[in-house]
Amino acid sequence: MRSFKVGTSTCGVSAGADKVLERLLSLAAESDGAPVAVSETGCIGMCYREPLVEVVDGPERVLYAEMTPEAAERLYRGATRDELEAHVLIEGESGDRDGFLLEQHRIALVNCGHIDPADLDDYLAQDGYAGYRKAVTAMTPEEVVAEIELSGLRGRGGGGFPTGLKWKLSRASAADTKYIVCNADEGDPGAFMDRSLLEGDPHGVLEGMAIAGYAIGACEGHIYIRAEYPRAIRRLEAAIEQATARGLLGRGVFGGEIDFEVHIKQGAGAFVCGEETALIASMEGRRGMPRFRPPYPAERGLFDKPTNINNVETFANVPWIVRNGGAAFAALGTPKSKGTKVFALAGKVVRGGLVEVPMGMTINRLVLGIGGGVREGGRFKAVQLGGPSGGCIPASLGDTPIDYDQLTATGAIMGSGGLVVMDDSTCMVDVARYFLSFTQSESCGKCTFCRIGTKRMLEILEAICAGGGREGDIERLETLGRQISAASLCGLGQTAPNPVLTTIRYFRDEYEAHIRDKRCPAHVCPSLVSYSISEAACTGCGACIKVCPVDAITGRRKELHVLDAEACIRCGRCYTTCQFDAIIKD
């Protein structure tokens, strides 16, 4: 049977995939010829070419990119592959024209973009729940924990704590009730790993949680997910309902004596609730604020019961490890960072999307190879790794292998996997200001150093970007950053200064230009940019006059225009509007 699979994760829908799906479903409903199957699937990672439609016709498989309802209808009605050549992205199993998938090794993402997330049978056909069945019927809980330890899997949510050790500690805690919690409170700007996993393969995460429940002796699991992810929530709810109806979750799993129920708790989007004790407080109905540790959640967590908390990607790796063995996972990666890691490529990169690569791949291979480098006209300058808690790594360190220890040595962190690419049009001082403004506004306010210290740092950065920087500001930022990192209670405050400290470390000259020369080298900070009109390039078209909000530009049509620097408010509208490069930034 000929079938059409439409990628309807959030990235696809935002590009128009819902309209493509609607057209194909209506055509299938009206057809009186051979039956055609139309289904949804998740994100294969190629967000830069959405909407995506895969056509399976017998042994032939072709993935079409940038589809429109009209192009999809042509395809449905029999247009040949050659007639839609411009849309062809992948042919067969290895015909990836962009090379986006060739260096990837998919474990957590293995099903994303291939199965229908709303169809349990699709998941079962890919060995779904086989790992869970193997665990509860052929392994003791201790053997499951040992296998996870052997794999070397570390928490993929940011800290990189050994997953097997965390499970062992949770199992060793004596209690009549224990809990498994999946942290899906993804809040880093530019990160979309958890959302895409839950939208594309919800059963994979549920199976990982169920295996963890068996391993530590928990009969109940909770998924803490931000309410801003409605599509992921709907697919999770459907997956839980289907798995429970089939006896894969709930009471008497696989007809035996194992129980494991899963519930969903929606969060309000507070970044601090990504910290596990703040997350627990929110789940219990209290304000999301971290507490001192110990005791750790493995001893006293949700409702004061032993609780094991891992993030979405960590759980997504577990079924594969149990099916294939911990040694197979440990064979990938580096000595201290085993397996693979999912990254969300965003920013000034050509091929933005979701990738999964072995630990140890260099930044250059990821950005310049898989990502296709920076967009036309730009020069690779830096990557921001680890979100607001991470740091900026310059292009000069592009050969740095991506693993926990080597990234930490640069001043950045692995984080959950957000990777924002920057080119030479990016002002690193402004980047530091942006990320610090995010963490400052997301501070819960419990710690004086985090609440007030980040505010003082932000005030200095805002003054520098506005042209009010003073000698000694760089040193003040460094001192405040070290104090905040050392004295804050939770990971938010401890890592909040990272973007500032790393940009000072690698791009100190940009700070000095802002402070001493009152100049923004990247021409980004409005107060430090001036505009003028090139006599040689101006055609007198009048476009700049029309968009200037303060009438700072004058001139007759087809004659040289004049810009009044005193009246100019540096909004930049004339610069972005001019098609002849006649507006000059100084």
CATH number of this structure's domain 428-516: 1.20.1440.230
Residue with structure tokens 């190879």?
369
Can you read off the two tokens belonging to residue 308? 């094991």
Give the pLDDT of residue 415: 86
Residue 34 pLDDT > 80: no
User: Which fold does the domain 530-585 belong to in CATH?
Assistant: Alpha-Beta Plaits (3.30.70)
**Domain 340-423: CATH architecture, name and number where available:** Roll (3.10)
Confidence of residue 41 (pLDDT cuts 50, 70, 90): very high
488 close to 457: Cβ distance less than 8 angstroms: no
What DSSP letter does each residue of 25-42 carry, written as one string? HHHHHH--SS-EEEEEE-
Query: What's the rounded Cα separation, in Å, for the pair 224 and 182?
Result: 6
Lowest mean pLDDT across 90-94, 295-299, 321-325, 480-484 = 90-94
222-244 per-position pLDDT tens digit: 999 999 999 999 999 999 999 99
**Domain 2-96: CATH architecture, name and number where available:** 3-Layer(aba) Sandwich (3.40)
Residue 416 pLDDT > 90: no
Give the pLDDT of residue 37: 94
Which residues, in sequence order, are bridge partners of residue 529? Answer: none
Confidence of residue 188 (pLDDT cuts 50, 70, 90): confident
> Which residues have CB under 8 Å from 86's CB, separation 6+?
none
38 close to 24: Cβ distance less than 8 angstroms: yes
Residue 42 pLDDT > 90: yes
How much is the average pLDDT of 287-305?
A: 95
Helix (H) or strand (E) holding 125: none
Angle between helix 163-172 and 141-151 (nearest 10): 150
353-368 per-position pLDDT tens digit: 999 999 999 999 999 9
CA angle in degrees (0–180, nearest 5) for 358-363-368: 105
Which sign does the torsion angle of CA 529, 535, 538, 544 carry?
A: positive
**370 secondary structure, DSSP code:** I
Average pLDDT of the residues of the chain:
95
Give the pLDDT of residue 586: 85
463-512 per-position pLDDT tens digit: 999 999 999 999 999 999 999 999 999 999 999 999 999 999 999 999 99
Confidence of residue 80 (pLDDT cuts 50, 70, 90): confident
Domain ranges of the chain: 2-96, 120-330, 340-423, 428-516, 530-585
48-72 per-position pLDDT tens digit: 999 999 999 888 899 999 999 999 9
CATH number of this structure's domain 120-330: 3.40.50.11540
Residue with structure tokens 């049509």?
557
319-339 per-position pLDDT tens digit: 999 999 999 999 999 999 999
Exposure pattern of 337-354 as b/e (b: 16+ CB <10 Å)? bbbbbbbbbbbbbbbbbb
